Structures are given as C-alpha cells and as structure tokens.
Amino acid sequence: MSQSKTEKATPKKRKDERKKGNVPQSKDVTSVISLLVIFSVMKLIFPYIYGATKRFIAFIMGEMATIDHYSEGIVTDVTGEVVKLLVVAIVPLLLISASIAIISTGAQTRFLFSSEALKPTLNKFNPLNGIKKMFSIRSSVELIKNLIKITIILVILYKFIYARIAEMAKMLFVDPLQSSIYLLDAVVKMVYMVSIIFIFVAGLDYLYQRWEYERKIRMSKQEIKEEFKQMEGDPQIKGKIKQKQREMAASRMMQAVPTADVVIRNPTHFAVALKYDMENDRAPVVVAKGQDELALRIVAIAERSGVYVIEDKPLARAIYATAEIKMEIPYAYYTAIAEIFALVYSIRNNDKNKKRN
C-alpha cells in the first residue's frame, strides 16, 4: 500500500525537480506584464506607425496610377516598402514581447533552462494522461480563472464603449490621425483598467501555482528514508559530510586552545596544545594539534589568549604523530614535557610576582 505524501520536499528532491524543468511559474504574470508593456509602447510609437502606413499607401496608390503594366522592378519596390512598414510597425512589438516573456518567466524560474524538459517521453504522448489532465484540479482552476477573466473583459468593454459611444461617433468627422490616436488612447485606457484587475488575478494565480507545486513534490516518510540511504552511499555526499565533520572538529579544537597551559611548536609545521589538571589527569592531555596552516592558527590563538608558546621542533613533531586529541601524552615524553611544564610554571609565578610588586 502506497504511503501518503505528507512531508515537505527535501533540498535534493527540489534540486532534482529543477533539473527536470519542474518549477512553479504563473503564465498570467507573464501575460499581464506583456499586455501592459506592449500597449504602452504602442501608444508611444503609434505616430511613427501611422506615418509609415500613410507613406506606404501613398506609394502604392502613386505606383498604381503611373504604371500600365507590372514589372520585376515594381514588385521589388513594393516588397521593399512592405518590409519597411513591417520593421516599423511589427518588429519592435515582437522584440519587446519576446523580451518581456523571457524576463518575466526568468524572474520566476531564476532563468532555468532544462534539456530534460525538452526530451520526448511516452507519458507526453499517452492519451490517458491527457484525459486525466482534462479532469484534474488544475484544469478546473484554469477553467474558472478563464471564465472570470472573460467576464471581467466583457463587463469593462461594455461599460467603456457605452460611456464613450457619442465621442466615438464624432471621430468619424475628424482627421484620420486624430481619430486613430483617440481610439488607441481609449483602447490603452481600457487595457490599463483590465490589467489592474488582472494583476490581482495574476498574483493569486502565482500563489496558487506555488501551492500546487509544493503539493505535487511532497514526499512520503519512506521516500525520505530511501533518499537518505542513497545519499549516505554517495561518495560525494560522504566526502562533504566528512569535510563538515573535520571543520566542526577543528572549530571545537580551536575553542579549547585558550584553556591550554602550553603550546609546543615546530616553528611553522606543527603545533600541539597541552593542558594538565594535576587533580584529575595522570599526564598532560592534548587539547589541540595541527599542521601547517592549522598549526599557525593554534599558535596565533594561544598568543592572543596569553597561553605560553614554547618552540621544540622534535618534541612538537613527536607528540603530533603519537597522541590524538583528548589523549594523554605517551610515557616516553614525560620527562621532556615535565621540564617544559616546570619552565611554564616558573614563568607564570614570576609574572604573578611582578604584578604584585
């Protein structure tokens, strides 16, 4: 029996879904932004479009009036004028529309490009999957959303035209450019009114898409357990875990350096921090040790914390190689370490006497 998926998706699951191109996004957000920008730009460039169209019509009418037969040159001229008109009237809008679609979609998906989403699979061509989608929750939401949008557009369109029908009738008797600008301005205003409501709808749709995405990628407790087992067996994951453990151990070790009685160093390559509690320890205990950069860090912390640092190359190397953290030093080095601790205690007592005096 399959378990219910009640758990939030893990970071690995989210990463895998993203690789497949499965990310939350709202097409309504892209649509409403494109609508606003395109009509705003149209309002700005309309005089240029009108002028280009007028010149094109004048050119065609002039050519038609002066020729008595068609030739290759005439066809070339007409084609050139058509291309000019398209460049002025359509190309800017197409470029802006494409740019807005890329930017708004990229903002939602963090500019994800997934080759896996483009690969053909049997599920994409399975008619049963298509039927299931037709009767899914998503399809029902899309249907309701589209009905709401159509209703809003029809209501606004009716009220807008009804309020301006007298003014529109007057436009039949004015200059074509003036009437065209008036009509375009009216259309842009209507688009703005529709867009204000659609922005709210797009916001709700975006929230719904995120909720639907989170619901779809939920996992069962068993799936999380299986994923964890797979990650434990992954060499890269193992390496990262060990690296993290080493970093945490090094951090704890560095915190113990200020509690040490002495640090024995081999100038730059090795450093060992020792602590001795005469009541509880049989011999000094290693609280920190390091090589190269770690050794320099131990020495730096010791010097900042007032821990005595003694240079003894062979002893530092020997203890580093034979004693682990929280272990007592080997018996073979008792005498050498005793001499160092005697020196440390002597220096410490002299410092105390100087402070008293």
- C-alpha distances in Å from residue 103, one per residue of 100, 107, 203, 207, 351: 5, 6, 17, 19, 69
Q: What are phi and psi of 87, to 5 degrees?
A: -60, -40
DSSP state at residue 7: B
Q: Which residues of the chain have pLDDT under 70?
A: 1-3, 59-79, 81-82, 85, 88, 109-138, 177, 231-239, 354-357
Q: Which helix (H) or strand (E) holds 264?
A: strand 262-266
User: Closest Cα to residue 23, out of 121, 116, 146, 149?
Assistant: 116
Q: Which CATH number fits domain 238-356: 2.60.40.10, 3.40.1690.10, 3.20.20.70, 3.30.70.141?
A: 3.40.1690.10
Residue 290: how many other CB atoms lie within 10 Å = 22
DSSP strand pairing (285-291 vs 270-275): antiparallel
Which tokens sit at 122?
A: 């049997």
What is the chain's Cα-based Rg? 39
Residue ranges of domains in the chain: 23-216, 238-356
Predicted local confidence at residue 1, as pLDDT: 44
**3-state helix vs strand vs coil in the chain, percent to 5:** 75, 5, 20
Maximum separation of any 2 CA atoms in the chain, in Å? 123
What is the rounded CA–CA span in Å between residue 151 and residue 156? Answer: 9
